[in-house]
Amino acid sequence: MIVKLENYNGKYKIVSLALSQVAKEDLLKDNLDFIYISDNDIRLYPENVVVSKDKNIIEKLRNAHDYDVYELWENGKFSEYYDDSSLDNYFFVTGKCNSNCVMCPSPDISRQKGGNTSVDTLIEIAKHIPTDAPHLTITGGEPFMVGPDIFRFFEFLGEKFECTDFLLLTNGRIFAVDSYLERFVEKAPKNSIVAIPIHGSTANIHDMITQSNGSFNQTKIGIKKLLKAGIHVELRIVVSRLNKDDIYNIAQMISDELSEVDYVSIMAMEMTGSARVNQDKVWISYVDAAQAAEDAALVLIENGIDVKLYNFPLCIVKKEYWTLCEKSISPDKVRYAETCENCKMKNACGGVFAGTMSMEKGELRAII
């Protein structure tokens, strides 16, 4: 949600939202900046300054939630960062990345010149998030591109959120460096899992996809070091035209060398950013992607490794694999085709990415 608070002209700040008197009193007690919605106006606390009297904005914000967290910009723009009713909240650390994956849903320019969220700002956001938040994701780009100052952020998260589950999305290459591995083991929140992609069973395939020589060896070394240190690891396999014939081999390699991981997620692509630019190189039909995913899943299951299937519509996946399918696409990105309206499994199905709908050529069908 984004609105404009017309009477605000102060500094950029992080604020919580209070709709109820209880939330207002909690936030005052915690000495946090917050916006309070009354019947007649919107006020910034603790200053108790009116920042808007717009009835439309008041009505719109009444559909939000106590303890939501917003960014309040110098020009009065008021944009949601954390939704207290959602399990899909994340900290965006940076757009930069030291890999350049051909099918990345972010554009090249973001990975090369994307901005950072300062660690101080990340910590300020975290201060406003309730301690009972069930799940938070840390993502980029590659979060470690901001350097060792990120450990200050990890330390704060670990000290504040004792019961929150954390998911760190990273290419894993940094964990080949002992100093980073050791500090991560020391500072990471205790309920953390690190999600790392493997794009090929060999350096030739993996590095061709990441467009970064040496990334395969660094990633494997990093994964093995994390596992040895007792860190929970999720491995991710994104199915594309470039690796569809290698997915089975990746599963076999994981079974042989990395079987201590918590689980493996096999994923269909999101066709935005570089993936869209390179669609002739990377796009694969849902049917072909699902076949490769199912074959790999069977290998992993036979070797006692848990498997999840992300971003696959149920109608594309064989029924015996439905229990592996997750509703993994965030609500703002998920779409359903017209034919899905008659499908009895629609409520259980994760749909497809908005950016991928135009690539789908009549594969989706209603399950009657």
103 and 7, same structural domain?
Answer: no
Question: Could you tell me the two tokens for 235?
Answer: 């491995």
Count of domains observed in the chain? 2
**Is 166 inside any structural domain?**
yes
The pLDDT score that the predictor gives to residue 302 is 98
The pLDDT score that the predictor gives to residue 313 is 97
308 and 182, same structural domain?
Answer: yes
44 and 176, same structural domain?
Answer: no
157 and 29, same structural domain?
Answer: no
Contacts of 190 (CB under 8 A, 6+ apart): 158, 162
**Is 226 inside any structural domain?**
yes
The pLDDT score that the predictor gives to residue 109 is 87
The pLDDT score that the predictor gives to residue 111 is 86
pLDDT digits 0-9 by tens, 149-167: 999 999 999 999 999 999 9
The pLDDT score that the predictor gives to residue 361 is 84
Contacts of 284 (CB under 8 A, 6+ apart): 239, 240, 241, 244, 269
Listed as ranges, residues in the chain with pLDDT below 50 are: none
Residue 149 to residue 94: CA distance in whole angstroms: 13
113 and 64, same structural domain?
Answer: no
Residue 189 to residue 174: CA distance in whole angstroms: 18
Domain encompassing residue 243: 90-333
The pLDDT score that the predictor gives to residue 97 is 96
243 and 279, same structural domain?
Answer: yes
The pLDDT score that the predictor gives to residue 260 is 98
Q: Phi/psi at 358 (nearest 5 deg)?
A: -70, -15
**Is 360 inside any structural domain?**
no
Residue 73 to residue 93: CA distance in whole angstroms: 18
**Is 342 inside any structural domain?**
no
**Is 349 inside any structural domain?**
no
**Is 338 inside any structural domain?**
no
**Is 361 inside any structural domain?**
no
**Is 256 inside any structural domain?**
yes
296 and 168, same structural domain?
Answer: yes
